Amino acid sequence: MRGRVLVAGFSTRHVAQSAARAGYKVCAVDHFCDQDLAWYTQDQLKFEALEELPYAIEQMARRHSFDFIVLTSGAEGLATSLPVCGTPRERVNRFLDKLDIQHFFSDLRVPVPRLAAPGEYPAMIKPRCGAGGWRNQIIRDAAQLTAWEALYPDIPYIAQEVIDGIPASVCCVSDGTHARAIATNEQILRGDGGTAFGFSGSVTPFDHPLRDQMVAVAERIAAASGCTGTVGIDFVVSDTTPCAIEINPRFQGTLDTVEAAYDCNLFEYHVSACAGRLPETRSPMRYAARSILFADKDLTLSGDLKHLSPIVADIPSPGTFFEEEQAIVSVFGSGATRGEALSVLDTNISTVRQYMR
């Protein structure tokens, strides 16, 4: 084994799995602690609210000695006494504020949706902090803006022009000065209701005429950011331009499909990049797709999904209760083409839904 690592954040299964496959002993601090997290970890500690996360990390650090800690979504900016493998906290904080990201992209002169003027509609409203796109919404008039502000009181936000295009991302690794694109991803969003722009899966690789342009922009952004380790750059790709919209200085939700499509280990790439070593460019071996299934009503999981692995991950325990709109499980599909991967994914989703009635 290559040492012991603590992975901490709101959701850690994907990173813990990659770390275990890379040969590390893994412990995790996680909000969900699904069944399969235990398959890849020696110890797990569950927390409820993000405010509890620093104390949970301290508690786990008292149980075990660690060579380093990797901080995932929700934990990126935390101070910790453990050595951090990833972007330093003082640099991460700049990229946790979408207004700062907007200015960073503008200073780099990369295409980015411009900030909308007060009273300009339609506009894309985004909380300045937070991940996953769950509160993002297109506002078409003053009344809708008032309603959004009432729904999310006291939350600072930015308003951008609306860009039509395909949501996509590039997974990069960086040594703090140089960056290498690992994979391009098509992002799957919820697509309706108040969570229309919430992340709900990915297809890797993302084939598009502007793919090479998107990769070049992403590598320039990641290198200029000064971040170390894995860095994700989100885009909206129109017919003419890939517009950068966000930078994520942490492991991304696309990790599963990246590793499945490229036969690579992102945790290994992350650790190596933090030590100054970037990988060679790889070509995808297949198409991989992931979809997060959400409860369409309040329900209790009727059976045990673990026997469906590896077509599922983030596997809850039997009898777990889910409120409407809560994420339940991730489902996967793969194939020689995008269409084949999505077809397999649809078949697997139909199988899993039998347990969600």
- Residue in 98, 161, 103, 154 with CA at minimum distance from that of residue 126: 98
Q: What pLDDT was estimated at residue 1?
A: 66
Polymer length of the chain: 357
| Cα separation, 184 vs 258, whole angstroms | 8
Question: Strand 287-294 relative to strand 199-204: parallel, antiparallel, unpaired?
Answer: antiparallel
Tens of pLDDT, residue by residue, the chain (357 residues): 689 999 999 999 999 999 999 999 999 999 999 999 999 999 999 999 999 999 999 999 999 999 999 999 999 999 999 999 999 998 998 999 999 999 999 999 999 999 999 999 999 999 999 877 888 999 999 999 999 999 999 999 999 999 999 999 999 999 999 999 999 999 999 887 778 898 999 999 999 999 999 999 999 999 999 999 999 999 999 999 999 999 999 999 999 999 999 999 999 999 999 999 999 999 999 999 999 999 989 999 988 999 999 999 999 999 999 999 999 999 999 999 999 999 999 999 999 998 876
C-alpha 324/C-alpha 148 separation (Å) is: 20
Q: What's residue 132's pLDDT?
A: 78
The domain spans of the chain are 4-85, 109-160, 287-353
Task: Report the pLDDT value the prediction gives residue 192, as an integer from 0 to 100.
Answer: 75
In Å, how far from its chain's centre is CA 14? 10
Class of domain 287-353: alpha beta
The 3-class SS string of the chain reads: CCCEEEEECCCCHHHHHHHHHCCCEEEEEECCCCCCHHHHCCEEEECCCHHHHHHHHHHHHHHCCCCEEEECCCCCCCCCCCCECCCCHHHHHHHHCHHHHHHHHHHHCCCCCCECCCCCCCEEEEECCCCCCCCCEEECCHHHHHHHHHHCCCCCEEEECCCCCEEEEEEEEEECCCEEEEEEEEEEECCCHHHCCCEEEEEECCCCCCHHHHHHHHHHHHHHHCCEEEEEEEEEECCCCEEEEEEECCCCCCHHHHHHHHCCCHHHHHHHHHCCCCCCCCCCCCEEEEEEEECCCCEECCCCHHHHCCCEECCCCCCCEECCCCEEEEEEEEECCHHHHHHHHHHHHHHHHCCCC
Could you please state the CATH topology (level 3) that the domain comprising 4-85 is classified under: Rossmann fold (3.40.50)
Nearest residue to 4 (alpha-carbon basis) of 30, 24, 22, 28? 24
Task: Determine contact, residues 293/353, Cβ cutoff 8 Å.
Answer: yes
Nearest one of 332, 337, 320 to 292, comparing CA atoms:
332
Give, to the nearest 10 degrees, the angle between helix 255-262 and helix 266-274.
Answer: 100
